[in-house]
Amino acid sequence: MYKKTLHQLIDLINKKEITGREIHKSVLDRIDLKDKDINAYTTVFREYEEYGKDGILKGIPIAIKDNMHIKGKRTTCSSKILENFVPEFNATVIEELEKESASFMGKTNMDEFAMGSSTETSYFGVTKNPWDTTKIPGGSSGGSAAAVACGEAIAALGSDTGGSIRQPAALCGVVGMKPTYGRVSRYGLVAFASSLDQIGPITKDVEDAAILMNIISKKDEKDSTSVNIKREDFTQYLNQNIKGMKIGVYDKVLKDCSEGVAKSMENSMDILKNLGCKLENVDLPSVQYCVSDYYIIAPAEASSNLSRYDGVKYGFRADGYDDLMDMYIKTRTEGFGDEVKRRIMLGTYVLSSGYYDAYYLKAQKLRSLLKKDFNSAFAKYDCIISPTTPTEAFGIGEKAGNPLQMYLSDIFTIPANLTSIPAISIPNGISNNGLPTGLQIMANAFREDNIFKCASAFEKEFNIIDKLPMN
């Protein structure tokens, strides 16, 4: 049962062949069998909880990245500083899932405060890639992606600040979508970089992504950046003929990709051509600077957002301090891991007096330029495609000592966050080394319709759902 997609299970429940409780049991058994190796969860909900039966999700359990609040269950952000934090309220996405009768499977492991591309910075240990347990699953939503890929979850939510949904989805062979900034409420999502963070689904196929997107996309007065836009039924865009669709190929990057990634990409272009799409190479001149741009803006926002962890209001407080200042410093020094410290300090530096114009202001101007590049491209194309990642999943520990190399692994996913546009990663091949690769499809802001049309048509021609590591 754990192998099935969300939409298959919804159908089976509608036919009264199974129940949500039975699905929870099946997934729980799978977790008990696999999670000692994979470590996808920080907390598993062993008791089945029901929030009605009449909604779309019919009591099917969803896994939630451990930076979104479920009332009464701990939210750790995979950090020592929040190890015992139990929220008193639900994130808006959790409220929306409950309204549609979701149940919850547990909280999934992540890079500490979502800062990382490998899930290695978690206080609770690395999550392993179920395709090859010597490899990282990607990150920061590595727990959600690994769980969905190996049947430890039917479907999951992740969050994406610079690729944290799409990159692990690509490296684990599943579907991951970052919606347009403002499409989904961030209320109850622990803030990392508020102008970039967005919640989205990680699922086995495109239809499941559309189902979850239908539920979580909503204007929310508790998040003033959520946008008042008509709710769409994204499932209407599935299984359509995409003949004539205009697709820009960001091909300049292919020379920097691994052989396997480049081969999958070439194959994907052939598939889209055969579907009748018009493919053209597109130049996005400012994209080459996006890693610099991102690693100024995101740490700057993080340094401000994470100033709230001071040992006073919630979370960990260190022992053995002399006075208030000493308590702050000891609490933060003992509570945060190295990568979080590095980003807080980088952010503090780029915002500090004398450096603001040289870094932060320049980065915000570059962000405008990036947006212009994409605006002109989307005047010509319905979608832009690229590989999701430059390589397949890399080895555990391989990049852990070199932050810059780790940051460069986000190079294809970052532009969508900086420009607010939606993007999906869908599986587009399995390399000779046995690891999956991902195709990224981007569209203009609030044009998820084009993404769903393209992704669904592609998936009908090519998918790896029968090859997921489910045994």
Partner 1 sequence: MITEEKIEQIAKLAMLKVEKNDIEKFQAQFNEILDYMKEMDNLDLSNEDAAFHINELQNIFREDEIKESLSNEEALSNAPDGFDGFFKVPKVI
Q: How far is the CB of 185 from partner 1 (least distance, A)?
A: 13
Q: Which is nearer to partner 1, 23 or 216 (CB)?
A: 216
Q: Which residues pair with 384 in a beta bridge?
A: 248, 442
Q: Which of 103, 122, 141, 164 is catalytic?
A: 164
Rg, Å, the chain Cα set = 21
Q: Which residues contact 352 (CB under 8 A, 6 or more apart)?
A: none
Catalytic, 258? Answer no
Active site residue 264: no
Question: Which residue from 175, 414, 453 is spatially nearest to 284, judged by alpha carbons?
Answer: 414
Of 26, 79, 117, 140, catalytic:
140
- Whole-angstrom distance, CA of residue 79 vs CA of residue 221: 29
Q: Which is nearer to partner 1, 271 or 329 (CB)?
A: 329
In the bound complex, what is the minimum distance in angstroms from residue 121's beta carbon to partner 1?
14
Q: Which is nearer to partner 1, 148 or 445 (CB)?
A: 445
* 365-370 own/partner pairs: CB under 8 Å, 24+ apart: 366/286, 366/289, 366/292, 366/293, 367/293, 367/297, 367/418, 367/419, 369/286, 370/284, 370/286, 370/287, 370/290, 370/293, 370/415, 370/418, 370/419
Residue type present at position 256: D
We find the least distance from the C-beta atom of residue 364 to partner 1, in angstroms, to be 4
Catalytic residue among 4, 34, 65, 178: 65
Q: Smallest distance from the beta carbon of 390 to partner 1, in angstroms? A: 16
Closest CB 79 distance from partner 1, rounded Å: 14
Annotated catalytic, 255?
Answer: no
Backbone angles phi, psi at 464, to 5 degrees: -125, 25
Question: Which amino acid is residue 132, in one-letter code?
Answer: D
Q: Residues near 471 by Cβ (< 8 Å), separated by ≥ 6?
A: none
Residues that bind partner 1 (CB under 8 A): 84-86, 88-89, 181-182, 195, 221, 224-225, 227, 286, 288-289, 291-293, 295-296, 303, 307, 310-317, 321, 323-330, 332-333, 336, 338, 341-342, 344-346, 348-349, 352, 359, 361-369, 371, 403-404, 407, 418-420, 445
If the CB atoms of residues 85 and 462 are measured against partner 1, the closer one turns out to be 85
Check if the beta carbon of residue 83 is closer than 8 Å to that of residue 42.
no
Q: In terms of CB distance, is 279 or 408 closer to partner 1?
A: 408
Return the active site residues.
65, 140, 164
